[in-house]
Structure 1
Amino acid sequence: MFGKDIGIDLGTANVLIHVKGKGVVLDEPSVVAIESDVKRVLAVGEEAHRMVGRTPGNIVAIRPLKDGVIADFEITELMLKHFIQKIGGKGLFSHPRILICAPANITSVEQKAIREAAERSGAREVFLEEEPKAAAIGAGMDIFQPSGNMVVDIGGGTTDVAVLSMGDVVTSSSIKMAGDKFDTAISKYIKNKYKLLIGERTSEDIKIKIGTVFNGRRESMDIRGRDMVSGLPITVTIYSEEIREALMEPVSAIVASAKSVLEKTPPELSADIIDRGVILTGGGAMLHGLDELLAEELKVPVLIAEDPMHCVVKGTGIMLDNLDKVTRRK
């Protein structure tokens, strides 16, 4: 028996899986914990994520995807196999057809790596689709009409900006500036200003709880880390305004990328975007004030999708229902 069709959003930060007829069945961090001396997998996903920054020397928590592409082929394959087994065991998903999403503008070598990892995790057929297209469909945009739709998909490793019309990408840009770089910028700022070392989990917490990129949020948070001078643990209070300063550089790169895509867009489609606005998807869309900042800079309305984290994987689900259209075009 052939298995069901499944759609995968293979993200730098999270892997999400949609099973045809069931909806989104898995949403777990893209992390694998390994015992380094014997190369034995100890944990995958949520369990492995809890170990990040908290493991003894012989155990490493690896993120096999970097900047939206596969950095460690073997571990990615193990991770995919684990997740496919987890959602239904071998029986239900023996040789499924897999639709997998990748950032726009990746090289043919990177595409081949993603395709091979999916094939070796047991797929009978693999279809690759561009992330911004899946994100736009998942956000409820009708991209198959002859009118312009613009989407900014901010994930963990990449930000994809695309203008779509007639079911395809007209202009696009993909930059390696997204959620992970926000976290790095925050930890770097705190290290420079307070001489305090914090882990990536703490950086992410700060971003979610008090982070902002636009005026208006005034909150504070106590953070703990290691003092670089004394080497001892200390607590420091930081404020939203400081995080806005820390995020200025990575966010400016996203604004510049969106502007360059708009500048390359044919005038008729630009007119549609003024009417319809720009849709923000991906986890980064939830960064406080990002929609207001982009609206101010791009001079067009900017809206956050209803469920930004799940837009890409929901899009794969809709595409699975119309797989014939996708395969015909490949």
Structure 2
Amino acid sequence: MATIEDIGIDLGSTNVLIYAKDRGIVLNEPAMLAFDYDARNVIAIGTDAYKILGREPSHIEVVRPLQSAVIRDFDMLSIMLNHFITLVIGKRIFSRPRAVLSISCMANELEKRQLILGMLEAGARRTTLLPRPLAAAIGAGINVMPHVGHLVVDIGGANTHAAAIASGEIMAESAEIDGGDAFTDAIIRYVRLKYSLLIGFKTAEDVKCAVGNLKEIGETEVTIPVAGRSLVTGLPKQISLSPSEVTEALNEPKRNFIEALIGVIEHLPAQLANDVFDNGIVLTGGGANLKGLRQVMEEELRAPCFVADHPQEAVAAGCGYVLERPQELSMFLGDKRNK
């Protein structure tokens, strides 16, 4: 195993990504564990736990330690962090890495202390907490140091973090915007109401990724088969869902998302708002890949929008860049940390 001294971690509600100095993204796993109540132990973590989701028997529960950017189960979070960090750096006694960990804007002081403690137990010798929007901006290649405003919209699974950044600081922010899961849930509701068919979250997520589009494409449509359980007969049933139906299903969360962003922009100081409209809005996070989102935002917000390269990796990369570029980004290493 290659020696790794520094790691950047995107600790999301949906996925955990780890960036290793000079190596890039070395881990991308679902942020979940499977707990067996009969055996009273964790039986699967990350991808292995995701495979069980929706198929778990009554004595097994798939747990997300973070929900809506809030720590729900610190013990499970510590186990998950320890597992992922060990996968990347191995078990170490004398050589422990430094880490930069993304932190939600909504995290309180207790949660911050819990995260630092969890990282210490997982093998990090020193942990710096970096606000998620700043990490996303740095990872997207934005120079956050000049006295010029940028608006970053990081679309995670449970939440979207929108933040105006200037002079290396967050000038205005909101983490109370729905993330990509809201679009997935909308597909589940649509299919249940229109077809009396109950489908799982994983099925709806696959539909969203395959044919989800916030814009009407106006082309010959190829339907996608969707299977679930009939709410009428209780038996397995399959339907054919068209892309236009999926677009219709996504209309409500799309409106909510745009209205929330308008609310953020409306509360910006005038000069900062002017900077945002000059420089555009940068989209990061896995939700930035939703087809038609950038175009809808440009039409509704009347500002240029750009999707970062590898948007899902931006937060982890930004955390890693802080460690790779200490001369340029040293101010971000002065955060609360353990030594």
Q: Please classify the TM superposition score into its range, dividing by the shorter chain length.
A: over 0.9
Give the C-alpha shift of residue 17 in structure 1: 0.6
Partner of 1:220: 223
Over 3 Å counting, the alpha-carbon distance change for 1:187 and 1:235 in structure 2 is same
Give the C-alpha shift of residue 68 in structure 1: 1.8
Alignment RMSD (CA, Å): 2.0
Over 3 Å counting, the alpha-carbon distance change for 1:142 and 1:184 in structure 2 is same
Gaps of 5+ in 1: none
* 1:61-100 superposed Cα distances (whole Å, 9 cap, x missing partner): 2222111222111111101001111112113885322211
| 2:305 is equivalent to residue 302 of structure 1 | yes
Would the aligned equivalents of 1:191 and 1:197 in 2 still touch at CA under 8 Å? Answer: yes
Gaps of 5+ in 2: none
Would the aligned equivalents of 1:67 and 1:176 in 2 still touch at CA under 8 Å? Answer: no
Give 1:39-54 correspondences, 5 Å limit.
39-54=40-55
Partner of 1:325: 331
TM-score (norm 2): 0.91
Over 3 Å counting, the alpha-carbon distance change for 1:113 and 1:239 in structure 2 is farther
- Secondary structure of the 1:87 match is helix
* 1:121-157 superposed Cα distances (whole Å, 9 cap, x missing partner): 2332221111111111111111111111111100011
Over 3 Å counting, the alpha-carbon distance change for 1:246 and 1:51 in structure 2 is same
| 2:74 is equivalent to residue 88 of structure 1 | no
Equivalent pairs counted in the alignment come to 329
Identity of aligned residues (%): 38
Give the C-alpha shift of residue 39 in structure 1: 2.0
- Secondary structure of the 2:83 match is helix
Partner of 1:313: 316
Q: Structure 1 stretch 27-36 or stretch 92-101: which is displaced more?
A: 92-101
Over 3 Å counting, the alpha-carbon distance change for 1:255 and 1:114 in structure 2 is farther
CA distance in 2, matches of 1:27, 1:93: 26
- Secondary structure of the 1:91 match is coil
Over 3 Å counting, the alpha-carbon distance change for 1:300 and 1:92 in structure 2 is farther
CA distance in 1, matches of 2:150, 2:224: 38
* 1:187-243 superposed Cα distances (whole Å, 9 cap, x missing partner): 122111111011111010011011122222655211000001101111111122222
| 2:264 is equivalent to residue 261 of structure 1 | yes
Give 1:1-330 correspondences, 5 Å limit.
4-91=5-92, 94-216=95-217, 218-321=221-324, 322=326, 324-328=330-334
Would the aligned equivalents of 1:161 and 1:257 in 2 still touch at CA under 8 Å? Answer: no
CA distance in 2, matches of 1:60, 1:191: 24
Q: Structure 1 stretch 307-316 or stretch 65-74: which is displaced more?
A: 65-74
Kindly provide the amino acid, as one letter, of the partner of residue 299 in structure 2: E
Would the aligned equivalents of 1:18 and 1:314 in 2 still touch at CA under 8 Å? Answer: yes
Kindly provide the amino acid, as one letter, of the partner of residue 54 in structure 1: R
Q: Structure 1 stretch 13-22 or stretch 196-205: which is displaced more?
A: 13-22
Give the C-alpha shift of residue 328 in structure 1: 3.2
Give the C-alpha shift of residue 265 in structure 1: 1.9
Kindly provide the amino acid, as one letter, of the partner of residue 149 in structure 1: H
CA distance in 2, matches of 1:272, 1:108: 32
Kindly provide the amino acid, as one letter, of the partner of residue 229 in structure 1: V
Would the aligned equivalents of 1:3 and 1:93 in 2 still touch at CA under 8 Å? Answer: no
Give the C-alpha shift of residue 18 in structure 1: 1.2
CA distance in 1, matches of 2:177, 2:162: 12
- Secondary structure of the 2:92 match is helix
CA distance in 2, matches of 1:56, 1:41: 14
CA distance in 1, matches of 2:312, 2:94: 25
